[in-house]
Amino acid sequence: METPLLIFNENGIYCKEADVYLDPWHPVDRAIITHGHADHSRWGNKEYITHKNNVPIIKHRLGDIVVHGKEYNEKFVVNNVTFSLHPAGHIIGSSQVRVEHKGEVWVFSGDYKLEDDGISTPFEPVKCHTFITECTFGIPPFKWEPQEQVFKNINQWWANNREEGKTSVLFGYSLGKAQRLLKYLDTSIGKIYTHGAIENMTKILREQVQFPHTTLITRETKKKDLLGNIVLAPPSAHGSTWIRKMVPFVTASASGWMAFRGARRRRAVDKGFVLSDHCDWEELLTAIKSTGAEKIIATHGYTEIFSRYLREQGYDARTEQTQFEGEIDEVNSDKKEKEEL
C-alpha cells in the first residue's frame, strides 16, 4: 500500500513526498504553519511557511526566524506536491492547508470557525478527499449564540459594573480572543485598559485591523483611573498581584468552555460569556459536509465521540493523536501564557 499523503509521526503531521511538516510539535527543517497560537506555531523550525498576515504574529512570538508569507489561494510546489493556504476564520492570518499530489487532495483545517468575526478572513470550504479537522467542541451541547448577542451582553455587563463604581476585568487570550473582544467593546461606556501581553499583540495587529484605542496599565496607572472602565487581561493574570490594583473589580471570562455548567465557578470568575474562536457542534458538521470529503481525521477535542458519530453518518472517520490543545481550558492556561506576562 502506498504511504498516505499525510501521516502523523512523532514530530507532527508529515508529508513525506514533499518532506514538509504541518504545525509540527518538534523542530523540523520545513514547517507550514496554520496560525500563531502557541500549540500550532512552535519554536525551533529551520524554515516557516505561513499566511502573510501571520508573519508579524509568529515573528513577535518566536523571534528571529526564517519565514515566508503566502497569500490565500496562492499555490506553491515543494518536491512535486502542491500546497495552498485557505482562510480558516479562526484568528487573523489563520489558514487551512490544502495538499495535492497526483490528483489526491487533503486539507488540514488547523483551528477554525464558521462565524465571521469581522477580524479574520472568513472560513472558506475547500473541496478535498480527506479532511483533517479539529473538534475542540465536537459534542452536541456546544451551540454558540450569534456574536452580536454575546457582545451586547458583555457591554451591558460593563455598563452595570460602571454604575456600581467597579472596574470590569475581562479575560481572554492575548492573541485572537482579546482582539475580538476589543473590536466590539462599546467605547461610549468608558475607557479600555490592557495588560501588557494584550497591548503588545494588539499593537502588531493594528497594522492589519482597526481597533478602538487602548491604554496600557503601567506602574503609574492609578486605581481611580480604572474605576468604571474595562481591563482586558490574559487568563493567566487571574489571581496575580497585578490584578490587585483594580479593586473593587468584577471579573468575567469569554470562552467556549463557559457553556459548561459550573465552569464559571471553577474558574472563580464572577461572570462567564460563551464566545469561542472554534466551531460548535453544528458548525463542525456543516464544515465537514461542505468539503465533500469522505475521509475525516479528527485531531484534538472530543475526537472519539465525534469520529464515532461521523462513522454513523457514513463517513470513513478516525482519530489521530496530536499535541494541539484547541481552546485551552483557562484553569490550566497559566503556564501557556506565562511567557507573555
Choices 35-43, 67-75, 122-130, 313-321 (CB under 5 A): range interacting with Zn ion:
35-43
Q: Is 42 in the site for Zn ion (CB under 5 A)?
A: no
Helix then strand then coil, % of the chain, to nearest 5: 30, 25, 45
Shortest distance, position 177 Cβ to Zn ion, whole Å: 10
Residue (111 or 340) nearer to Zn ion, CB: 111
Shortest distance, position 199 Cβ to Zn ion, whole Å: 20
Shortest distance, position 58 Cβ to Zn ion, whole Å: 13
State the virtual CA torsion across 264, 268, 270, 273 in degrees, nearest 10: -30
Residue (48 or 193) nearer to Zn ion, CB: 48
Residue type present at position 200: N
Shortest distance, position 173 Cβ to Zn ion, whole Å: 9
At residue 285, φ and ψ (nearest 5 deg) are -65, -40
Interface characters, 66-105, with Zn ion (x: CB under 5 A)? ----------------------------------------
Distances (CA, A) of 190 to 160, 170, 185, 244, 263: 12, 14, 9, 20, 28
> Which grid coordinates belong to 191?
475607557
Nearest residue to 104 via CA among 1, 6, 31: 6
Residue (37 or 51) nearer to Zn ion, CB: 37
Residue (111 or 330) nearer to Zn ion, CB: 111
Shortest distance, position 308 Cβ to Zn ion, whole Å: 24
Residue (17 or 329) nearer to Zn ion, CB: 329
Shortest distance, position 37 Cβ to Zn ion, whole Å: 4
Cell 504574529: give the residue: 57
**Binding footprint of Zn ion, residue count (CB under 5 A):** 2
Residue (37 or 336) nearer to Zn ion, CB: 37
Residue (37 or 70) nearer to Zn ion, CB: 37
Choices 20-28, 29-37, 204-212, 266-274 (CB under 5 A): range interacting with Zn ion:
29-37
Q: Is 37 in the site for Zn ion (CB under 5 A)?
A: yes
Over the range 294-332, which residues count as b (16 or more CB within 10 Å of their CB) and which as e?
eebbbbbbbbeebbebbeeeebebebeebebbbbbbbee
State the virtual CA torsion across 43, 44, 47, 49 in degrees, nearest 10: -20
Shortest distance, position 36 Cβ to Zn ion, whole Å: 8
Residue (34 or 307) nearer to Zn ion, CB: 34
Q: Is 61 in the site for Zn ion (CB under 5 A)?
A: no
Out of 111, 199, 325, 337, point to the residue binding Zn ion (CB under 5 A).
111
Task: Please tell me the distance from the alpha carbon of residue 36 to that of residue 150, in angstroms, as a whole number.
Answer: 25
Partners of residue 67 on adjacent β-strands: 48
State the virtual CA torsion across 17, 123, 254, 140 in degrees, nearest 10: -80
Shortest distance, position 283 Cβ to Zn ion, whole Å: 15
Q: Enter the DSSP assignment of 268.
A: T
Partners of residue 296 on adjacent β-strands: 131, 317
Q: Which residues bind Zn ion (CB under 5 A)?
A: 37, 111
